[in-house]
Amino acid sequence: MSTKSQILEILHGRDAEYISGQELASTLGLSRNSIWKAIGKLQDEGFEIESRAGVGYRLVQKGDVLSASCIRDAVNIPCKVHILDSVDSTNNYAKTLGDVTIPNIIIANEQTKGRGRMGRSFYSPPSKGLYMTIAFCPDFSLDKSMLVTAVSALAVCRAFQEVTGLGPKIKWVNDVYLHGRKVCGILTEAETNFETGNISRIIVGIGVNCFEQNFPEDIAGSATYIKDAPKDFNRMALAASIVNNFFDMLNNFDKKKLLREYRSRSMILGQQILLYGTSYSDMPEHGGKGVRARAIDIDENGGLIVEYMEGRRSRQMETITSGEVTIRKDI
């Protein structure tokens, strides 16, 4: 852990009380000059740290500043971290990067054109959410690549539990729900090498509604934010936990264990649902009515096994794969 991260951790624990430079130096085994330099760097990064001669330092406000160095220090793998004040889309930005042999983590304070599946937009107001993308070169087979979205959703769920103590659920295939409303969306994209036919780059966009906000009318009834988070909750801790869990699952890949956990976190298995077609005109926001079905299981590739409840295929089973449908619970 870097000196800056250690100092932040100590200041956070003092609950806005002053701590002397000498105490910090003694605790960390450093010189007071090293402490002074680290405090200055934290202030330059936006952390509001008050300094009082003869008294010491204190964290004035436990804000939610995004720091590349603090996130990089908290992540368990070598990576590059990009912090952006504003961008059209973190996924779009990831596509402009040259080398992602070392994973690149892109985090923006705002997205002006955040993207979701099926051409939908993702509402991304300033300082209200975690808008991040993980871009990396996979060293595994296509079979494993098909489960990256499932791994992403599980990484978000695990990170929620670690950082907030809350237990969200997954609505197949890429939405994470809290208290029955959407709190996170995931958009997974891939770039293929046409010469080899292999996937050359995977881009995983993750958007989490973190703080209280006024959602647009079209999603106000279905979206939520993290309402019951601890007082010291911050986006950096959530981002680092998501990255750590994501790569831990990929590096220690256990398909059976992964699918078992994914099923246990599903909010739709055993439920009656509505299936919608892939064309925009068939989507619910365009008047699509959907087909009633029952969600039966998740197959070994992450596909959803359904039983149709109406129409010419009534009582027939089918496996629905990513990109072909979106799903809403039939209520």
Note whether 27 and 9 are within 8 A (CB).
no
Distance from C-alpha of 304 to C-alpha of 324, rounded to nearest angstrom: 11
Distance from C-alpha of 260 to C-alpha of 155, rounded to nearest angstrom: 14
**CA quadruple 281, 276, 153, 318: dihedral sign:** negative
Considering the chain, tell me which residue range(s) the CATH 2.30.30 domain(s) occupy.
272-329
List, for residues 256-280, the tens digit of each pLDDT value.
Answer: 999 999 999 999 999 988 888 766 5
List, for residues 112-146, the tens digit of each pLDDT value.
Answer: 999 887 678 899 999 899 999 999 999 887 677 77
Distance of CA 74 to the CA centre of its chain: 15
Class of domain 3-59: mainly alpha
Q: What is the mean pLDDT of the chain?
A: 88
Considering the chain, tell me which residue range(s) the CATH 1.10.10.10 domain(s) occupy.
3-59
Distance from C-alpha of 70 to C-alpha of 81, rounded to nearest angstrom: 10
Going by C-alpha positions, the residue among 73, 64, 68, 112 that lies closest to residue 90 is 112
CA-to-CA separations, 295 to 181, 186, 298, 326, in angstroms, rounded: 19, 21, 9, 13
Per DSSP bridges, beta strands 291-298 and 56-59 are: unpaired
Q: What is the pTM of this model?
A: 0.84
Extract the tokens encoding 211.
Answer: 């703080």
pLDDT, position 231:
80
List, for residues 137-193, the tens digit of each pLDDT value.
Answer: 998 876 777 799 999 999 999 999 999 999 999 999 889 999 999 999 999 998 877
Residue 65 confidence (pLDDT) above 80: no
pLDDT tier at 286, thresholds 50, 70, 90: low
Task: Give the contacts of 26 (CB within 8 A, at least 6 positions apart).
Answer: none
Q: Locate the DSSP E strands across the chain.
A: 49-52, 56-59, 80-84, 104-108, 129-136, 169-171, 175-178, 181-192, 199-209, 272-276, 291-298, 304-308, 317-320, 326-329
The CATH code that applies to domain 272-329 is 2.30.30
Residue with the two structure tokens 């923006």: 108
pLDDT tier at 3, thresholds 50, 70, 90: confident
pLDDT, position 331:
46
Evaluate whether the domain defined by 68-264 bears CATH number 3.30.930.10: yes
List, for residues 290-324, the tens digit of each pLDDT value.
Answer: 888 999 999 998 999 999 998 888 999 999 885 45
pLDDT, position 239:
97
Distance from C-alpha of 133 to C-alpha of 280, rounded to nearest angstrom: 25
CA-to-CA separations, 256 to 155, 228, 259, 298, in angstroms, rounded: 16, 32, 5, 11
